[in-house]
Amino acid sequence: MKIKYMARVAAVALGVIMLGSCNIYKKFEMPQDSALTEEYVKARQAQPDSTAFGNLRWEQVFTDPVLVDLINRALVNNTNLRNAKLNVDIAHAQLKGAKLSFFPSLALAPNGAGSSYSGGKFSWTYQLPAAVSWEVDIFGKLLNTKRGAQAALLQSEAYHQAARSQIIAAVANTYYTLANLEAQLKLSRETAKLWAESVETMKNLKLAGRLNESAVVQSQANYYSILASITDIEVAIDQVNNTMSLLVNTPPQKWVVSPEATLVAPSMLREAIPMRELAARPDVRAAEQTLAAAYYATNQARANFYPGLNITANGGFTNLIGGFITNPGDWFVQLAGSLTIPIFSRGANIAKLEATKAQQQQAMNNFEYTLMAASAEVSDAMTVYEKSAEKETYLAQQVENLEKSVEYTQELLTLGTSTYLEVLTAQQGLLGAQISQLSTQLSRSQAVINLYQSLGGGR
């Protein structure tokens, strides 16, 4: 009767343990506690839109042959991208190790010894044992380790895609920045020639008694100011060339860009970006896998409260049986099993569980923030593009009117009905408007690049 009663108690206890440990075996599912995560889960379940801007191959977005060559070189040589690929390889290796942990371990440890007493003959003993140990994963410790390793692999793959996207965007941004600076340099040099001619005109008018020395000095100062600005542009070009060299992992050199390189935005621009396009971003997917890994780490911490079963077997050939040496030796086999039930571990298991729960909540907070930041980045890029296009229209009209203003004031100066200050003001205003026009063109191109990157482009 006692045996039956104890068996019932053991069965009930085991049932309670198994019931309490059900959550340990569950796969990670994204919590839907908020409207944001609920919308995200629905977006992840939807079919991806192959025509979405972020899903286009980068060759479809960047068609400039010079830029295409630079991006290809960067994807092959860039150090950060190589390291990201190595992180994927590391995660693959760790996952392989987690999968193999389900199998028994086998070790061979041959040994021998000799002993002699009172100067007698040596007695030699030897063993050729093989030891097998197998941890039976009853409560999911190894299972959650493997699933955590799988999440880490998916996370590293997402980070690799993010690094790839960043490299493509960085090369494109650097390329168009360089093209813009080259255009500014060309414009400034052409303007410097015109202003040098203006200085000569002022000198001739002074000799004719039409202007005084102040006009000549002011025009010369204006001329030297643009020469000074040219040196700044040349320094910036050198720095951007070095940045491009680092991106493609080559020694510093000058890079050639296509003349008047500009990037046209796709026609898909709209008021809002669907959640499924944000859900495709690699940093969002990485944040999701970080949350999954934290979930499995919490499950592992819970599993530490449950028993662990280990089965061992030893077998081999030896001439030492008990306390006696026999020659020849003989075979031996030993089997053992051990059940370890944690009772009190000085609070280590409780502390670890509390810590992993807090880390899981941190991962959840970071995921939600990453998703909201993704939406903000897309919104920023779309706004910059739209307003840059609008600004370009106004600047084009401003440049057109200022060109006429410079022409008119110079003619009026020669006729004596305008002052040299009006000429200088018109020249400076025209140059400023032309530089703003180029800068706005760059902002528009960069907005397209940033939008592509913010949607996870770069596949």
Residues 252-296: pLDDT tens digits?
999 988 766 666 555 545 556 678 888 888 889 899 999 999 999
Single-letter amino acid, residue 249: N
Reply yes or no on whether the pLDDT at 122 is more than 80: no
CATH number at residue 430: 1.20.1600.10
Residue at 15 is within a domain: no
Helices 141-207 and 348-415, packing angle to 10 deg: 20
The helix (H) or strand (E) run that includes residue 382 is helix 348-415
DSSP bridge partners of 330: 318
Could you give the CA distance from residue 444 to residue 446 in angstroms, rounded to a whole number? 5
The pLDDT tens digits for 131-171 are 778 777 778 888 888 888 889 999 898 888 888 888 999 99
Please enumerate in sequence order all residues whose Cβ is within 8 A of that of 139, keeping only pairs 6 or more positions apart, or say none: 17, 21, 24, 303, 306, 307, 308
E-assigned strand segments in 195-300: none
Reply yes or no on whether the pLDDT at 12 is more than 50: no
Q: For the residues of 151-194, what is the DSSP string, one character each?
A: HHHHHHHHHHHHHHHHHHHHHHHHHHHHHHHHHHHHHHHHHHHH
Higher pLDDT, 115 or 444: 444
Residue at 33 is within a domain: yes
**The pair of three-digit structure tokens given for residue 256, joined into one six-digit string:** 């050639």
Confidence of residue 118 (pLDDT cuts 50, 70, 90): low
CB 296 within 8 A of CB 154: no
Mean pLDDT of 323-337: 69
Could you give the CA distance from residue 43 to residue 277 in angstroms, rounded to a whole number? 8
Residue at 389 is within a domain: yes
Lowest mean pLDDT of 30-34, 92-96, 116-120, 362-366, name the range: 116-120
Q: In whole angstroms, how far apart are CA 285 and each of 390, 399, 449?
A: 35, 46, 21
Mean residue pLDDT across the chain: 82
Reply yes or no on whether the pLDDT at 459 is more than 50: yes
86, 89, 90, 93: CA torsion to nearest 10: -160
Reply yes or no on whether the pLDDT at 345 is more than 80: no
Secondary structure of residue 227 in the 3-state scheme? helix
The structural domain count of the chain equals 1
Question: Looking at residue 174, what is its pLDDT?
Answer: 92
Lowest mean pLDDT of 1-5, 82-86, 350-354, name the range: 1-5
Q: For the residues of 36-70, what is the DSSP string, one character each?
A: HHHHHHHHHHSPP-TTSGGGS-HHHH---HHHHHH
Range of the domain at 63: 29-113+124-454
82-94 residues labelled b (16+ CB within 10 A) or e (exposed): eebeebbeebeeb
Residue at 272 is within a domain: yes
DSSP bridge partners of 318: 127, 330
Question: Looking at residue 81, what is its pLDDT?
Answer: 81
Reply yes or no on whether the pLDDT at 181 is more than 80: yes
Reply yes or no on whether the pLDDT at 313 is more than 90: no
Lowest mean pLDDT of 78-82, 83-87, 332-336, 443-447, name the range: 332-336
The pLDDT tens digits for 38-51 are 888 888 888 777 77
Q: Of the segments 214-223, 247-256, 318-327, which one has the largest average pLDDT value?
A: 247-256
Residue at 10 is within a domain: no
CB 59 within 8 A of CB 335: no
Question: Looking at residue 326, what is its pLDDT?
Answer: 66
Question: Looking at residue 13, what is its pLDDT?
Answer: 46
pTM: 0.79
Secondary structure of residue 430 in the 3-state scheme? helix
Residue at 7 is within a domain: no
Question: Looking at residue 369, what is its pLDDT?
Answer: 92
Residue at 118 is within a domain: no
Could you give the CA distance from residue 196 to residue 224 in angstroms, rounded to a whole number? 9
Question: Looking at residue 11, what is its pLDDT?
Answer: 45
Alpha-carbon 411 to chain mean position: 58
Reply yes or no on whether the pLDDT at 238 is more than 90: yes
- 8-state DSSP, 455: T
Question: Looking at residue 10, what is its pLDDT?
Answer: 43
Mean pLDDT of 217-241: 92
CB atoms < 10 A from the CB of 41, how many? 15
Single-letter amino acid, residue 92: H
Q: For the residues of 191-204, what is the DSSP string, one character each?
A: HHHHHHHHHHHHHH
Greatest CA separation for the chain = 132
Instruction: Estimate the share of the chain in helix, then strand, then coil, as percent rounded to the nearest 5.
Output: 65, 10, 20
Residue at 179 is within a domain: yes
Mean pLDDT of 404-429: 81
